[in-house]
Amino acid sequence: MTDSSKTLCPYCGVGCGLEVSPPAVAGKPVNRDSQGYPMWKVQGDRAHPSSQGMVCVKGATIAESLNKDRLLYPMMRESLDRPFRRVTWDEALNAIVNRIQTVRFTQGPEAVCIYGSGQFQTEDYYIAQKLMKGCLGINNFDANSRLCMSSAVAGYIQSFGSDGPPCCYDDLELTDCAFLIGTNTAECHPIIFNRLRKHHKKNNGKVKMIVVDPRRTATAEAADLHLAIKPGTDIDLMNGMAHLLMRWGYINTVFIDECTSGFPAYADVIRHYPPELVARKCGIRVNDLETAARYWGESQRVLSMWSMGVNQSSEGTAKVRTIINLHLMTGQIGTPGAGPFSLTGQPNAMGGREAGGLAHLLPGYRSVKNAQHRSEVEKFWGLPEGRISPTAGLSAWEMITSLEAGEVGFYWVAATNPAVSMPDLERTKKALLRSPFTVSQDAYYPTEMADYSHVLLPAAQWSEKTGIMTNSERRVTLCSAFRNAPGEARADWEIFAEVGRRLGFAEQFKFTNSAEVYAEFVQLTRGRPCDMTGISHERLTTEGPQQWPCPDGLSGNESSSFGEAIEGVGVLGVGETHEIQPQKAKPKTQETSSRLYTDLSFHTPDGRARFGAYHSRGLAEPPDPDYPFVLTNGRLYGHWHTQSRTGRIEKIRQMHPNPFIEIHPRDAGKLGIEDESWVEVRSRRGMARFPAKVTQAIAPGTVFVPMHWGALWADRAEANALTHPEACPDSLEPELKACAVQLVPITADRAATDTLLQTPKSSILSASPSL
């Protein structure tokens, strides 16, 4: 493994192409990380159509995280109060297989659960589905996408009859109006933002950018119009915009008549959202609401984009459908530069959806509730009819409540860190402590989840295993291994397959490499909306990334215009991303990428897209006199989730050294809170404390904390100590974005005697036990 190779950034759903070259290049000293390990050089892949050579700070620094604090060997312990001891793979796998068998036959298969991740490659997802839903006949496989994309999935399915973001990144440069709602694109999808921002700047005044977010984020700073709505009032806002579009006659009646159903019920609902009422509920000016509606109505092509400010809500599916409604009423879909574009969070959450990686799905955009779908998959897997259960398995949060109730006998967690990322963390941790047998399969040690595990399995991660990832625009890229896995680490799919074989399913898991796994999986997509039968590891190696749908024999990728050289970019700060100027970017044509629904025919039985008529229900836990503030939370540009990688990269630690809480000066003044003074934040479920950042960037009555600091990285600065698990009834996605809190300033006296408060701990590295 000495040549440079092309791959995909393993962080966010933008899916930037990377080019990696080995640490040692003839005639030059070996490139090393801060611990002296040889370090691969990473740069943007100029030929990758999604990113055109650009990368953000996370992609650019990824190589630095690859050697530090790796989990090298399987580890086991009999109970959570005992130390881990190193074991062989054989011992660990035997323990797992024995445990699964015991639980199946004593408690029933429903007591077996796997909790996976959008950071799996598609092959990992597929093998886990085959093992659980097929061989074991239990649908208890869910993924952290339940906390992330499941509202978008449910919204697309309900409105269009199928999941699948219909847009592509070329639309970023073809739109007249970008409507960004509940997304801090500048920090969380920086290269998408970069492309959009350039287009916006170049067409100053002609192309509009609207941002809807209670915070004035870096994204909002760039907008023509920032609507700082009160958290949870998105449906009011969008129904109010629809009301005005209707009043002003900006609706596309031909499209509504010929391509949709359900408009009358929707029109009935939006009648109740006159501008004055809506502006008051949202906490914005009528003028601004009117401007938003006018920008939308007057634009030829409107592209809306959203992520967690929309999805992580107790009415997440309704919010998604309400965005789609605006597109349907104005006919803004199926054409270049227009459409409802859900920005995917994790690098392969899209692949997870294709492979059926949620508890109610089956591979190929199928549902466990559909008898024909089950039968097709059973036949394909060579399993008896009726093996796949017709009921949805436990969702991520239901696994926690089932652990709490003593109903789970085996909990296998892979590529996710629920001891930080799950809502209502005190309750989550208590439930995890009740688990009789937890496996954590991760690339790093320690992680917060290791504390709650009986078995640790070392996972080979990106760069060490070969597999597929699909990005937000349905573009499929092969990530080839270019380094050896450290210690005894193995690819996730290999671990699942080996357990399958040891459970007696030798026939189902005969694969010798991930290309074979993928080749089998794509056959299950034949004739489905996400048809990928034309894609293989081999084709991706020779032809580069492909977009689906891509049936055999047909190209899903006519995008060759970026094969031309575009000057690459280095490491960027958040404010800088939009400054990138590709020097030789060829102008793109409208045909460079594939879009869905260009024929205006949808996947519903009558081919029509469905309006969803929703009144706003607001927050599940609104503020009240006892808990008067709304706490929201989210991400920072440099950090990735629970910091397992980014917390180990010096540059990023310096960029974001400590957690903090954003408070509006008016609220801070009332409470006597000064900038950098400590604040205790309490919700009905838990407590956390942060130094205050007094800023006008947050609306009065709302406070913001980052989600990145779990128990390993700071003392009691966990956002999820405060959040609640109330979820959207359709998507089961918890309302991680809002809960009611009270703020208690920590007096100077107390701060002076409390050592925890003097030194915010953002370093655990020295405390890491070595294995």
Question: Which of 459, 476, 530, 679 touches ligand MGD by CB under 6 A?
Answer: 459
What letter represents residue 236's amino acid? Answer: D
The answer to the question of residue 416 lying near ligand MGD (CB under 6 A) is yes
Residue 165: asked if its preceding bond is cis (omega within 30°), the reply is no
Tell me the C-alpha to C-alpha distance, in Å, between residue 163 and each of 60, 159, 312, 530, 715: 31, 9, 18, 9, 40
Tell me the C-alpha to C-alpha distance, in Å, between residue 301 and each of 175, 296, 346: 5, 8, 27
What letter represents residue 751's amino acid? Answer: A
- Minimum Å gap between C-beta 193 and ligand SF4 is 9
- Residues 594, 555: Cα–Cα separation, whole Å: 10
The answer to the question of residue 707 lying near ligand MGD (CB under 6 A) is yes
The answer to the question of residue 184 lying near ligand MGD (CB under 6 A) is yes
**C-alpha angle 416/418/422, rounded to 5°?**
125
- Footprint of ligand MGD on residues 325-354 (CB under 6 A)? 345-346
Residue 389 binds which one of ligand MGD, Mo ion, ligand SF4, none, with CB within 5 to 8 A depending on kind? none
- Minimum Å gap between C-beta 577 and ligand SF4 is 9
- Footprint of ligand MGD on residues 110-149 (CB under 6 A)? 117, 119, 144, 147-148
Q: Please, are residues 679 and 208 in contact by the beta-carbon 8 Å criterion?
A: no
Closest CA to 593 of 175, 301, 167: 167
Number of other CB atoms surrounding residue 384 within 10 Å: 9
Secondary element (H or E) of residue 450: none
Q: Compute how many residues bind ligand MGD; rule: CB under 6 A.
A: 59
Question: Which of 226, 327, 502, 737 touches ligand MGD by CB under 6 A?
Answer: 737
Tokens describing residue 339: 């459409």
**546-547 and 687-694 as β-strands: parallel, antiparallel, unpaired?**
unpaired
- Minimum Å gap between C-beta 653 and Mo ion is 22
CA-based torsion, 512, 514, 516, 521: positive or negative? positive
Residue 442 binds which one of ligand MGD, ligand SF4, Mo ion, none, with CB within 5 to 8 A depending on kind? ligand MGD
- Residues 574, 219: Cα–Cα separation, whole Å: 10
- Minimum Å gap between C-beta 635 and ligand MGD is 4
Residue 622: asked if its preceding bond is cis (omega within 30°), the reply is no
Question: Which of 176, 378, 473, 492 touches ligand MGD by CB under 6 A?
Answer: 492
Q: Which positions lie near Mo ion, rule CB under 5 A?
A: 148, 345
- Residues 178, 166: Cα–Cα separation, whole Å: 15
- Minimum Å gap between C-beta 612 and ligand MGD is 18
- Minimum Å gap between C-beta 428 and Mo ion is 17
- The answer for residues whose C-beta is within 8 angstroms of residue 4's C-beta and 6 or more apart is 19, 20, 21, 22
The answer to the question of residue 482 lying near ligand MGD (CB under 6 A) is no
Residue 119 binds which one of ligand MGD, Mo ion, ligand SF4, none, with CB within 5 to 8 A depending on kind? ligand MGD
**Residue whose CB is less far from ligand SF4, 12 or 39:** 12
**Residue whose CB is less far from ligand MGD, 528 or 708:** 708
Q: Please, are residues 215 and 697 in contact by the beta-carbon 8 Å criterion?
A: yes
The answer to the question of residue 693 lying near ligand MGD (CB under 6 A) is no
Question: Which of 150, 642, 677, 742 touches ligand MGD by CB under 6 A?
Answer: 642
Q: Which positions lie near ligand SF4, rule CB under 6 A?
A: 9, 11-12, 14-16, 51, 55-56, 58-59, 190-191
Question: Which of 48, 195, 215, 429 touches ligand MGD by CB under 6 A?
Answer: 215
Secondary-structure breakdown of the chain: helix, strand, coil percentages, each rounded to the nearest 5: 35, 15, 50
- Minimum Å gap between C-beta 50 and ligand SF4 is 8
Question: Which of 415, 540, 681, 739 touches ligand MGD by CB under 6 A?
Answer: 415
Residue nearest to ligand SF4 (CB): 59
Q: Provide the 3-class DSSP secondary structure of residue 225.
A: strand
The answer to the question of residue 713 lying near ligand MGD (CB under 6 A) is no
Q: How many helices (H) and strands (E) does the chain have?
A: 26, 28
- Residues at the interface with ligand MGD (CB under 6 A): 12, 117, 119, 144, 147-148, 181-184, 187-188, 212-215, 217, 231-232, 234, 307-309, 312, 345-346, 414-418, 420-421, 441-444, 447, 459, 461-462, 492, 632-635, 637, 639-642, 644, 707, 719-720, 723, 736-738
